[in-house]
Amino acid sequence: MNKASSKSKGVVIEPQETRSSEASGDLLRLLVENIKEYAITILDPEGMVTSWSPSAEKIKGYKADEIVGKHFSAFHTPEDVASGKPERELAAAAKDGRYEDETWRVRKDGTRFWANVILTALRDKKGNLLGYGKVTRDLTERKRAEEQIRQQSREILEMATVPVVQVWEGIVLVPLIGVLDSERSQQLMEKLLERITATSSPVALVDITGVPTIDTKTAQHLVETIKAVRFVGADVVLTGVRPAIAQTLVHLGIDLSNVTTRSSLAAGLRVAFGMLHLCVSAESAD
């Protein structure tokens, strides 16, 4: 038993006589009663609620007489209860002394809140489990703020990774730099098509000078992009096809035979001018 108690972690409850004065006990009680941000709950070893702080009432909606004596799984989502999570949490806290989690919890009225939960095993000096201390913090607002920031930074990143510029009336240009993975190529397609339709540009120059290597996936993304551009009624000139890229494309068996390609951006631009000019000359030739 002695060996076990030295091994088992958690808060050790001191016997009454070694505790500080009655007055500091009162102060501790006052602290617990006045803390607003944390719901403080004491559970017995089976997980039944034995003590309930005023802040817990405010955060979770139960009055003390409604929840004391009930199992703490009342705060869990039905999905968590079904998967046996409340029991696993108690077991983890008993084993390691402490269990912490950020998760969805449920208020009395059924609404959910994003909670930081810390469960601490409470043991006497001999290592016997007396129960658990549970501190719960409502982080719903913080989570919403984090989501918003994540969303904003993603939008900024999108702007930076796929810059689409109009270089001439009727011509837009995308200089691609770096690796073209599936997420980026989705952004490329969306931005490019938006700009093409917004500026009524019949020609799009896609410059891959800054793309270090091309694999089958990347090539497929390019082929898809070109196809989508054609669906909205414009055409792509692929520029910056360096010798190494040309070799790779042929070795991979990527068919770009009906796509206009040029090695340099300058050459591609001339083709684009030609395409716009051709429209005019074809009309007068007919």
Partner 1 sequence: MNLLDEGSVAIVEETDIVTVRQTVREAAGQIGLGVTDVTRVVTAASELARNVFKYGNGGSMTWKLLESEFAKGIELTFQDKGPGIPDIEQALQDGFSTGGGLGMGLPGAKKLMDEMSVDSSPQIGTRVVVRKWRSI
Partner 2 sequence: MHRETITVIKVRGVLMVTMPADPDDATISALQEKTLEAMEEYEARGLILDLSRVDTLDSYFARTVTETGKMVNLMGGQTIIAGMRPAVAITATQLGLNLAFIRTALGVDQALDLMSEEHPV
24 binds partner 2 (CB under 8 A): no
Q: Are the beta carbons of 195 and 172 closer than 8 angstroms? A: yes
147 binds partner 1 (CB under 8 A): yes
Taking CB under 8 A as the binding criterion, the range among 34-42, 96-104, 211-219, 275-283 that sits at the site for partner 1 is 96-104
234 binds partner 2 (CB under 8 A): yes
* Angle, alpha carbons 16-19-20 (nearest 5°): 140
Judged by CB under 8 A, which of 82, 156, 160, 282 binds partner 2?
282
Tokens read off for 55: 């802040």
How many C-beta atoms surround the C-beta of residue 44 within 10 A? 17
Shortest spacing between CB 232 and partner 2, in angstroms: 5
Nearer to partner 2, 44 or 224 (CB): 224
183 binds partner 2 (CB under 8 A): no
Shortest spacing between CB 220 and partner 2, in angstroms: 11
Which one of partner 2, partner 1, none is in contact with 283 (Cβ closer than 5 to 8 A by kind)? Answer: partner 2
Residues in the chain: 286
116 binds partner 1 (CB under 8 A): no
181 binds partner 2 (CB under 8 A): no
* Burial class of residue 32 in the structure, from the number of CB atoms within 10 Å of its CB (0-12 exposed, 13-18 middle, 19+ buried): middle
DSSP codes of every residue in 215-239: -HHHHHHHHHHHHHHHHTT-EEEEE
SS3 state of residue 71: strand
Kindly calculate the radius of gyration of the chain based on its CA atoms and give it in whole angstroms.
33
200 binds partner 2 (CB under 8 A): yes
Rounded CA gap, 10 and 8, in Å?
Answer: 7
196 binds partner 2 (CB under 8 A): yes
Rounded CA gap, 93 and 87, in Å?
Answer: 10
- Which residues in this chain contact partner 1 in the complex, by CB under 8 A? 77, 79, 102-104, 112, 147, 150-151, 186, 190
- Which residues in this chain contact partner 2 in the complex, by CB under 8 A? 186, 189-190, 193-194, 196-197, 200-202, 224, 227-234, 279, 282-283, 286
